[in-house]
Structure 1
């Protein structure tokens, strides 16, 4: 089956999850536009390329399909996964990768936009942020869940919620809470229990880590150097004996010689022999190698952690030989028998989701949506993932790693008609006949002297000033 026929077959499979088969045209047109090599993949330029002879009508239909039509993002993402996941090889292991990505914005009306940290810019700025979960294996990965993070200022503003079409059941939730709910929903649908990977923005949240453990999931998450742990061989004393009055004591006791330390202090105190050079995969130019140590610790920081003695887990430390102190820290509940090489490979599998975001933004227009509503934002992202899923499936069938060339499928945009004018451009000037200044005046008209130039218009003090908004 050639690529065009397989794409049609893929679209026919996805459209069954949209509620109405008459949405096949919108689905196919939108995904086709996202896969074309266009510099801007908002609705109008895509419509002009997908159907150049009926650009205006196509623009209206695609806009309705993405911004107004009622169809389920979750159902479409589920069908994308059903198409792609069977092609993924999990014999060497699988991972759930959690992360968030930002979309810089100029205005303040797009749903969820506010001044917050934007990973794309590496600083606080005006942007939208969405949380996603990807399913990954060694050969590739696929986003399977996606939700916009709704800041407090939006969640508590009823007028803005109504205008942006935010569903009533969407309340404020932190990014770790959103991710944890996405994982719960996936498991409820029968998803496998793979190890969860996340950066320090999620890993420092004790409730997030405990929530994963409660779901029966192992994790490998980044943490900051300030996280406090009980070092190997050091544990608090048992709680005070129960006196028979009030609640039984549960907080472990500390002494001057039995104190937890932050992970940076622990790492600096380890001997050089604890660190080993480990390679985890081939990079662009050479094999990626680093210096690592792994020790068994118990978390001790925070009020929750003090209330009871937590189980042991791995602390993985990455300390480049040319740096004065460690660079990264990870906590993991992978089995105690896990080899150091496997811990390192798991910790660095997060690059897959970064590649997802890169491909989705650079090649499939993930950040190009210009609407302001909740439904359109999520529909556009879902359709970008649908287009990405087809390309991922083709690479997996070809047996090529998803880290290889992205443009394995040649995509050409049809030319625009010669008379095409995009919206917002100055309209064509209407043809006008030559003005005859010597023409006879109509009967009853009074002649007046004509100056060579028109006098400047004088505005009176009472004239209102035009204000642009």
Structure 2
């Protein structure tokens, strides 16, 4: 790559330590030594720079040499290295470290100026309550009670982007990339993690989605024999009226007051329904008690294209609270014996969302300055590597 002929001399000021060994291992698939060296410089910058982690700031903080900016820019944006093997190694290491309770499908809104960065367009961001000019990253995050790690990434690209050949050529979007919904991208990542990278065992997959998307994801995960817990974000009645589902059985439970809720009695095996009534209950019992109505139904997909799905069932769990305008609903294929753990699994989603927001500031998730599709994936791979190195260091300190 141009500008890398003096990388040996420039790099010598970085030194050799645990991060050097980590980079050599994780980025061992990169064919050139200078690429692996620039990977380490970039990682050091993501871990060291306070505030905006721009390429210029990284070069200045790590090498005290802003003239290295061009080499770093080319490594991230122009160099054709394959991020797949790097992510596979990161995912395998993270799975051994975390031993996740759940895989959480999460979105990352990445604000951008202008209209030339790959995938950028106006999007309404619900948690901000406004429209943001941004990219949308989809990730699968391994999570447990103590930590989380992004295993894989996809960039959502609309038809407007993919149908424009000039945009595709300018941002180097591969011909193989086709229009996909967010849920289809998530299923694609699940396949890559399990089939191509051999990550196992796979914990329950947790997310939230609008009714149609929730059903699409549920059916896709059923076909893959994966367990899931999907919170339906919207009117669940649209699902119950769907011609693609048939209600097998339905039942309801007596109204439950929040001051009567207790942790399920694990010694009582003949009353699994007690675990159902505590799902999603987050009310503080010190406050005014609330009354919950919980119903559950078994739904059977009616898919002509996938007859094997007709032997599978999806459980719909619906919690309605007196005095609350909206209710909460979930789709799951977890067996009744495992439903008692759903409160813990659902909590992973809220924890992961908070952690991803921290990644945005701590590891520079939002600070990619390039415009290309490969550059975006390179940057997010390096962000994941920085997060794993930090987690390994924290784990080592706790073990000492």
TM-score range, shorter chain: 0.7 to 0.9
Correspondence for 2:66: 55
Secondary structure, counterpart of 2:124 in structure 1: strand
Distance (whole Å) between structure 1 residues aligned to residue 223 and residue 248 of structure 2: 28
TM-score by length of 1: 0.67
Q: Deviations over 1:5-43 (max 9, x none)?
A: 322211121221222222122111101111114211111
Number of the residue aligned with 1:387? 386
Q: Deviations over 1:213-259 (max 9, x none)?
A: 1111110001135224999xxxxxxxxxxxxxxxxxx9999xxxx99
Please give the secondary structure, in 2, of the residue aligned with 1:221: strand
Residues 313 and 191 (structure 1 numbering): CA distance in 2 closer, same or farther, change over 3 Å?
same
Identify which of 64, 80, 96 aligns with 2:74: 64
Count the aligned residue pairs: 356
Partner residue, 2:199: 191
Instruction: Give the 3 Å change call, closer, same or farther, for CA 370–120 of structure 1 in structure 2.
Output: farther
RMSD: 3.5
Equivalences for 1:17-416 in 2 at 5 Å?
17-52=29-64, 54-56=65-67, 58-89=68-99, 94-118=101-125, 121-188=128-195, 189-192=197-200, 193-201=202-210, 204-228=213-237, 271-273=254-256, 277=261, 295-299=295-299, 311-318=312-319, 323-340=323-340, 342-399=341-398
Check 1:206–1:44 CA distance in 2 against 1; reply closer, same or farther (3 A cut).
same
Pick closer, same or farther for the CA change 1:114–1:195 going to 2, 3 Å. Answer: same
Deviation at residue 173 of structure 1 after TM alignment: 0.5
Contact 2:293–2:321 (CA under 8 A) maintained in structure 1: no
Q: 1:206 deviation in Å? A: 2.0
Q: CA deviation at 1:315?
A: 3.3
* Cα offsets for 1:155-199 (capped at 9, x unmatched): 100011000110110011111001001101111022223211011
Q: TM-score, normalised by structure 2?
A: 0.78
Asked if the contact 1:33–1:47 (Cα under 8 Å) also holds between the matched residues in 2, the reply is yes
What's the counterpart of residue 27 of structure 2? 15
Which has a greater percent of helix?
2
> Using the alignment, how far apart are the partners of 1:334 and 1:130 within structure 2?
28
- Structure 2 stretches lacking a partner, 5+ long: 1-14, 265-280, 285-289
In structure 2, the CA distance between the partners of 1:397 and 1:259, relative to structure 1 (3 Å rule), is closer
> Are residues 274 and 224 of structure 1, via their aligned partners in 2, closer, same or farther at CA, if it must alter by over 3 Å?
farther
2:249–2:298 CA contact under 8 A, matched in 1: no
Distance 1:115 1:300 in 2: 37
Separation (CA, whole Å) in 1 of partners of 2:32 and 2:135: 31
Contact kept? 1:98, 1:198, Cα under 8 Å: yes
Alpha carbons of structure 1 residues 302 and 104: separation in structure 2 relative to 1, 3 Å: farther
What is the CA distance between 1:304 and its match in structure 2? 7.8
Q: Is the 8 A contact 1:76 1:382 kept in 2?
A: yes
- What is the deviation of 1:201? 3.9
